[in-house]
Amino acid sequence: MKAPTPAEPDSEFPDEMPDELSEEALAELETAIQRRQRRRLVTGLAVVGLLLALVGGYAGYWFWAAGAVEKGTTDWIAQAERDGLVVRYETLQVSGFPFHMVLRMDQPRAAAPRAPQPWSWGSRRLIARARPWNLNRIHVDAAGAQGVTLTVEGRDIHYTGDAGRLEADVGLRDGRVVGLDVRVADLGLDAPAPFGPVSAGRIEADVRRPETGSDQDVSMTLRLNAREVAVSEGLNLPLGSRLGHIALSAEMRGPLPEPPNVGKLTAWRDAGGTIEVDSIGLDYGPLSLRGEGTVALDGALQPVGAMTAKIRGFFEAVDALRARGMIRSKAASTAKIVLGVMAKKPPEGGAASLSLPLTVQDRKLYVGPVPFVDFPPVRWSGEQNPVNEPAEPPANSGATG
């Protein structure tokens, strides 16, 4: 068996180390070690100091921003009240340090007593969240117990119930709202007959202000989508109480009338302001409607408009109106004959469709040349009414305070 070969000596070190260093060499080594330790200590202290400065600066910014958020909220509430929207709450607090800015409002209430249709709303709590470094994007959540009051012909109608989802994303620019995305789901409200109950499976609304544009350009866009909306049977609507789907896409042109009072609306109308309805869709009972058109205001600030609509399910709709006693049998038969002559079946087959002009003028809806429905006048201004306090949300709604 071969003997192991001895290892080669390491050429980086001498074969023999001196037994001891001279005093001068030891002093130089000690000085070098101390100098290195001082450099490390200074570097460490500088890093710690920088971190403390950054943390302290950020903490100072956060608390400054929290104060600005609280003051901005109260200033906005004051301005909103001058514009006709009254906002109240029990407590208001800002939290979320260090990575969030969370504004919590307990028992929030809002009311528009001078609106054409006075209303008020209340909930148990409202929470708004934003990142401290981007306060122009805010997420708002007010799900849970709800109370809504509508004033109809001087009578207050109180709705109470629950929303499984009620939230909004708000976009700000220079302190103004330029984007609002609202989402509602699993909404259920009840009210005394014949006004309740009311429910909605899903409602989505998106409102935007373009960043640039002249007075004749688009000043606002609106997108609305709602599914499975149901109202009380006691309202005796023409085709039943359930609306399967409502969709709307529209653009407002001309200077934005904000707030929508008589003076602002008059200026908007005189500047050629219109609402261009790019598309509207309605699935209501057997009826399916798709259309587009333009809406404006007449000399009395009442809505006028012209649209073209494609309608399906009109035979079934006529039968439903006759069954509900809203049209007589003879009129229903005549309508089906006339509509049948005007209707066209698509080449690929399927249900017949009917293309008709729809016109709104002098507070009447015309289907073709025939007046169909009368509208009550729209009131854009009125005397200020007391704030409608929303009804107390039901105790068993499951909402937390």
Answer whether 125's CB lies under 8 Å from 395's CB.
Answer: no
Is residue 307 classed as helix, strand or coil in its secondary structure? Answer: strand
The first and second tokens of residue 159, run together, are 């709705």
What's the one-letter identity of residue 162? D
Separation between Cα atoms, residue 98 and residue 130, nearest integer Å: 12
pLDDT at 383: 36
Q: How far apart are CA 282 and CA 227, in angstroms?
A: 10
Output the CA–CA distances (angstroms, integers) from residue 288 to 33, 244, 285, in the order listed.
87, 10, 8
Q: Which pTM does this prediction carry?
A: 0.77
Structure-token match 């119930």, residue found: 161
Domain edges within the chain: 29-82, 86-287
Token match 């509508």: residue? Answer: 150
Q: What angle separates helix 314-323 from helix 329-342, to the nearest 10 degrees?
A: 180
The two three-digit tokens of residue 356, written as one number: 């008709």
Cα–Cα distance measured from residue 86 to residue 112, given in angstroms and rounded to the nearest whole number: 6
DSSP helix/strand/coil, 386:
coil
Start-to-end CA span in the chain (Å): 88
Question: How many other CB atoms are found less than 10 A from the CB of residue 320?
Answer: 19
pLDDT along the chain (401 residues), means of 10: 51 51 70 74 76 82 92 91 91 93 96 86 96 94 95 87 96 88 96 90 93 67 95 84 94 80 85 92 91 93 92 84 80 78 75 84 80 75 43 43 36
pLDDT of residue 127: 97
* CA–CA dist 76, 63 (Å, integer): 20
Q: How far apart are CA 4 and CA 164, in angstroms?
A: 82
Give the other-Cβ count within 10 Å of 115's Cβ: 18
73-101: burial string, b at 16+ Cβ within 10 Å, e else: beeebeeeeeebbbbbbeeeebebeeeeb
Which residues fall within 8 angstroms of residue 308, CB to CB, at 6 or more apart? 291, 292, 293, 355, 356, 357, 358
CA distance 350 to 355: 15
- Rg, C-alpha atoms of the chain: 35
